[in-house]
Structure 1
Amino acid sequence: MPSIDLIIELCAAQCQAHYAGSVDHVYASSTDGRRVLLPAQALRRVVTRDGVHGVYRLSYDDNGRFQSLQRLGDSP
């Protein structure tokens, strides 16, 4: 399964917009400098009361559709 490592830094207020449904997608930067668009619902499994902060591995299928998001560690 293909994957890409992302640096995600979102405060709690930004995450609230995703939960409210007013935002469908989120942009994040990959560790190699690419800009990646992912579904906001992908964050629901990793959000804390402080937001989403750290490095995450985004896995997707051969058609480019989201499969999973796993926390790898703190942001560099």
Structure 2
Amino acid sequence: MPSIDVIIALSAAQCRAHYAGSVEHVYASSVDGRRVLLPAQALRRVVTRDGVHGVYRLSYDTNGRFQSLQRIGDRPL
């Protein structure tokens, strides 16, 4: 399954907009500098009370559809 590592930094307040349904997609930066669009619903699996912060592996199918989002580390410096 193809994947890309992305850096996500969202506050708890920003995540509430995703839960409320007012935001359907989230932009993140890949570790190699690309801009990546992912479904906001993917954050529901990884959000904490502080929001979403760190490096995540975004996996998708061969058609480019979201499959999973897994935390793999802290945000790089």
TM-score normalised by structure 1 residue count: 0.99
* Identity level (%): 88
Count of aligned residue pairs for this structure pair? 76
Aligned residues: CA RMSD: 0.2
Paired position in structure 1 for 2:15: 15
Uncovered stretches (5+) of structure 2, i.e. residues with no partner? none
Q: Match of 1:9, as an amino acid?
A: A
List 4+ stretches of structure 1 deviating above 4 A: none
Paired position in structure 1 for 2:43: 43
Q: Match of 1:67, as an amino acid?
A: Q
Aligned-pair distance for 1:59?
A: 0.1
Paired position in structure 1 for 2:29: 29
1:60-75 aligned within 5 A: 60-75=60-75
CA-to-partner distance for each residue in 1:12-43, whole Å, 9 max, x for gaps?
00000000000000000000000000000000
Q: Match of 1:54, as an amino acid?
A: G
